Structure 1
Amino acid sequence: MKRLLILVSICLVAPVAAQTSLPPAPYADRQLDDPQQEAAARDLMEELRCLKCQSQSIADSNAPMAGDMRSQVREKIAAGESPEAVRSWLVERYGNWVSYDPPIASVVTWPLWIAPIVLLLAALWLARGRFRKPKDGE
């Protein structure tokens, strides 16, 4: 029983030990001084996906990784890089998946653009058969 209690205690303490003790990135939650640069950074952050949360943009996510990405975006924008150059750098680093607007030209992403059309056509075909008026002999 004592061993079981020790094992349960270790299992409950392990997640706490896994938390990072590093300080947050400098621009994770601090805005840039230049309002135009901050607006450009904000617009870009809304278009980038948090790699940990997956369903939130890095602007909305509280994950430490999203904070690091926000800081990187702000630092690069403050250094004079264009938002498109920063987006390209992040796509190169993390892949097309980091962007909410992946390019159509990629062999990997074209099914993402075609699948909704195919599914819509299949649904229309099934609905046509389901709601078709029966013929006199049927």
Structure 2
Amino acid sequence: MKRLVLTACLLALACSAMADVDAREAALAAQLRCVVCQNQTIAESSAPLAADMRREIRTQLQAGRSDDEVLAFFEQRYGSFVRYAPPLRPSTWLLWGAPFALGLAGLAALAATLRHRRRAGPPQPLDDAQRERARRLLDDGGTP
């Protein structure tokens, strides 16, 4: 009876450890970019290289490596690009800052355009000569 209880406890412990490895593998696979597909994580990709990368993750986790060590391994092998969300460091400042800079530039252009329109005032109505020229252009199919 004791042997049966001990076996059950060991089996439960092994299942728990395997579930932990599975959860960590899934979390890491969701953080790494498929270098073949490039717009999918290796968890989503069905490319053979993505399957190899998932196997490598599992192998390293079973060998006792931490999540950071596994990520560092892939980053060393494939570069910072392999991380789906690259870490914030001097080499990736442009990557992280460009969307904000472009947004600010767009807002500045919008403000300048609105300021220019406000200064120009309301549009002036066409005089008779301009109205006649527009009518001729429309009737002739756009040739001046």
**TM-score in terms of structure 1 length:** 0.70
Q: Which has the higher contact order (CA 8 A, sep 6+)?
A: 1
Deviation at 1:137, TM superposition (A): 6.5
Note if 1:130 corresponds to 2:119.
no
Q: Give aligned pairs, total.
A: 105
Deviation at 1:101, TM superposition (A): 2.0
CA RMSD of aligned residues (A): 1.8
Q: Percent identity?
A: 39
Name the counterpart of 1:100. 84
Q: Tell me, which stretches of 5 or more residues in structure 2 are unaligned?
A: 1-16, 123-144
Q: Give deviations 1:80-117, integer Å, cap 9, x for gaps.
A: 1111110001101110000012122242x221011111
Name the counterpart of 1:65. 49
Q: Tell me, which stretches of 5 or more residues in structure 1 are unaligned?
A: 1-32
Letter in 2 for 1:124: L
When you count helix as a share of all residues, which structure comes out higher? 2
Letter in 1 for 2:43: A
**TM-score in terms of structure 2 length:** 0.67
Larger radius of gyration, structure 1 or 2? 2
Moved over 3 A (4+): 135-138
